[in-house]
Amino acid sequence: MSESSPNNDIRWSSRWLFVLAAAGSAVGLGNIWKFPYVAGENGGGAFVLIYLVCVGLVGAPIMMAEIALGREGRSSPITTMAKLAASAGRNSQWSIIGWMGVIAGVMILSFYGVIAGWALKYIGVLASGEFENAGASVVESTFNGLLASPVEMIFWQTIFMVGTIWIVARGVSQGLEKAIRWFMPLLFVMLIVLLGYSLRSGGFEQGWQFMFDFKWEDVGPGTWIMALGQAFFTLSLGMGTMMAYGSYVPSEARIGSTVATIVALDTVVAISAGLVIFPLVFVNNLDVAQGPGLMFVTMPLAFGQLPFGSIFGSVFFLLVSFAAITSAISLTEPAISYLVEKYNSSRWRVAVGLGFLCWLLGLGTVFSFNIWADLKLAFGLNFFDLVDQISSNILLPLGGLLIAIFITWKLPRETVAGQIEIESEPIWSLWKVVTGVVAPVSVLVVFLNTFVPFF
């Protein structure tokens, strides 16, 4: 196998741009609605504490492993895994880790683009003032009308996918870095603005208590499993994104401190999103138990009842859209980097082809909310639910599990220690226990908890 690849001469121009890119990948739709709600319903501050423990024992070690593998291989995830397995005298089948990540990324982007399209639509809906002093029936009717219209959903899905592919087709320096330079700072600015608005809404204290009061009576075994799952999925692990991004990391960057910064930014955004959302929900006496509907029904209803709600509501959905697109561009990178190096093709051609494939697959998700709503493919799941289950609950956990095992037990110590800069024997022993035992077992528990019930 050739040691050269298109990735060899590509680097992030600075450590901070990599941090922002990786944080952008981690900060997505799940941070905006899922983490705050799960935390509030499962122990508040107790859940946040448990989550941080799980991030330290599962999320951060696997992220370090992915980045280290990517920087060592300096290729796409598929090629990297094949190259490192060969150099270590291991079976070439370890490249399946890269393939699983590529497939998962394509599947996730196919439905992610549809849901992100909803957020794009709602920027205009909120800005128009349509929900000013509107009742719940009006807001629900608007959302249900969107779901019932395949044409409208496809329109917004297409807009989002075209924007995503235009960015990734331009490459690392002209595409990814330029997008990150704009999107991530603006995302943080909008979050601060919305926090200030939420602070003056009159429900901030109640929202704070919902998220941070230590409710140990709500903590059980299921809480730990939820925290483990959230710690794993929120950091974009197991799909090869961090491996692909890691291949562009400069050699002098310290992986440990870099990962700590990424995890901190991701957690701050998730917590801040909760402090934006729940005060507005509580001040209007709305239901917090809405799941995804929290974003497209409850939040628009809340903004509609508040002064300047139309303006700040459109800013909120602009923030959601920025978070979605930074995640979406990362989902494409494992597949694009492999196809470019494998076929020596132009990045534009590969990006357009991959984007069209994801868009086409995404039509199944569009139809799952209307004309295919009653079509069950397997395990009583429709197309969207099945694609979500396979990608998020099977491929990603198995990918993370295999990454942890491979880097800990299959690679030479000098390779791993050199990348992660471990010199002392006690630290090396701790690394092996956490990454080689604790993290894989934890991921396996999450996998079994989410997958086995379907049988």
The per-residue DSSP string of 67-117 comes to HHHHHHH-S-HHHHHHHHHHHTT--GGGGHHHHHHHHHHHHHHHHHHHHHH
pLDDT at residue 36 in the model: 80
Model confidence pLDDT, tens digit, residues 54-85:
888 899 999 999 999 999 999 999 999 999 99
Q: What integer is the mean pLDDT of 180-190?
A: 90
3-class DSSP state of 422: coil
- Give the domain ranges of the chain: 15-454
Q: What is residue 347's three-state secondary structure?
A: helix
Which among 135, 146, 137 is positioned nearest to 304, based on CA atoms?
135
Confidence at 9, pLDDT banded by 50, 70, 90 = low
- Give the pTM: 0.91
Higher pLDDT residue, 361 or 265? Answer: 361
Nearest alpha-carbon partner for 323 in 156, 450, 199, 191: 191
Residue 287 confidence class, pLDDT cut points 50, 70, 90? confident
Q: What is the pLDDT of residue 290?
A: 64
Domain covering 15-454 in this structure, CATH number: 1.20.1740
The reported pLDDT for the residue numbered 291 is 61
What gap in Å lies between CA 20 and CA 253, rounded to an integer? 14
More confident residue, 4 or 113: 113
pLDDT at 433 over 90: yes
* Mean pLDDT value across the chain: 89
Least confident of 20-34, 82-96, 127-141, 417-431: 20-34
β-partners of residue 214 are 44
Average pLDDT over residues 398-402: 92
In angstroms, the first-to-last Cα distance of the chain is 41
Mean pLDDT of 376-393: 89
Chain centre distance of CA 307: 32
Alpha-carbon distance 383 to 394, whole Å?
16
| Residues 6 or more apart whose Cβ sits within 8 Å of residue 444 | 397, 401
Task: Calculate the CA dihedral of residues 134, 140, 141, 145 and round it to 10 degrees.
Answer: 130
User: Residue 448: phi, psi to the nearest 5?
Assistant: -65, -40
**Burial (Cβ within 10 Å: 0-12, 13-18, ≥19) of residue 211:** buried
Cβ atoms 337, 76 nearer than 8 A? yes
Cβ-based neighbours of 104, under 8 Å, separated by 6 or more:
238, 239, 240, 391, 392, 395, 396, 399
